[in-house]
Amino acid sequence: MIKLKRCVIVGQAEIKDYKRVKSYLKDDDFFVYCDGGLKHMDNLSAKPDLIIGDFDSYENPKMNVETIVLPCVKDDTDSAYALKCCIERGFKDFLFIGCIGQRLDHTLGNLFLLIMLKEKGLSGVMLDDYSEMTFVDDKGAFVEDSFSYFSLVSLSDRAEGITIENAKYPLKDGVIESSFQYGVSNEVIKGKTARIFVEKGNIILIKVF
């Protein structure tokens, strides 16, 4: 059985630490550049396999690469359209870079793309200069002690049955509501790996470098 490549979706948000981002990349990744994300192409040393965008913030390079030109007036952002398109093509594992930045509206919209993946039983990681973000699924999630901090943020009104093990602030059968985000800035016990489990709700795990 042929295993599909991982899909890397590149947005236009600022990237300062290209060295760190490149350490996450694989030789066989499938690269999708969204509009202004093309400005990162040279620094990432990764050619596009697919280009998607309405090109309102970056000129269409008209490369010899499959390019999907979107209308400027649409419901999906370029990154959301790119994700849906690649899900339809059968990709199951995603890495988002250049999707967290100065525009809070785009940042929040992109974070919820991780929940879309969770609901479809797919996997995804969102990376910026400061952290690595993913969702906690029914298999749980893990944080190595190489990370400085980690936080749990509820994207549901109420997340229940939250357990945190091997951390400075452990938790058993806890609840985090959207109006009280007390799961911010925890630490892994040195020499251990923190384990996180959630029974109900959408929790984003943020691992801080």
Q: Residues of CATH 2.60.120.320 domain(s) within the chain?
A: 141-208
Q: What average pLDDT does the segment 74-83 reach?
A: 91
Q: Residues of CATH 3.40.50.10240 domain(s) within the chain?
A: 7-129
Residue 1 has pLDDT above 50, yes or no: no
> With a threshold of 0.85, does the pTM exceed it?
yes
**Integer Cα distance of 133 and 207 in angstroms:** 6
**What number of other Cβ atoms are within 10 A of residue 97's Cβ?**
25
> May I ask the CATH architecture of the domain 7-129?
3-Layer(aba) Sandwich (3.40)
Q: What average pLDDT does the segment 119-130 reach?
A: 96
The percentage of residues in the chain with a pLDDT greater than 90, rounded to a whole number, is 86
Give the largest Cα separation in the chain, rounded.
54
Q: What is the pLDDT of residue 73?
A: 81
| 3-state DSSP helix/strand/coil % of the chain, to nearest 5 | 20, 35, 45
Pick the CATH number of 141-208 from 3.40.50.300, 1.20.1260.10, 2.30.110.10, 2.60.120.320: 2.60.120.320
Q: Give 48-63 pLDDT, tens digit per residue.
A: 999 999 888 788 888 9
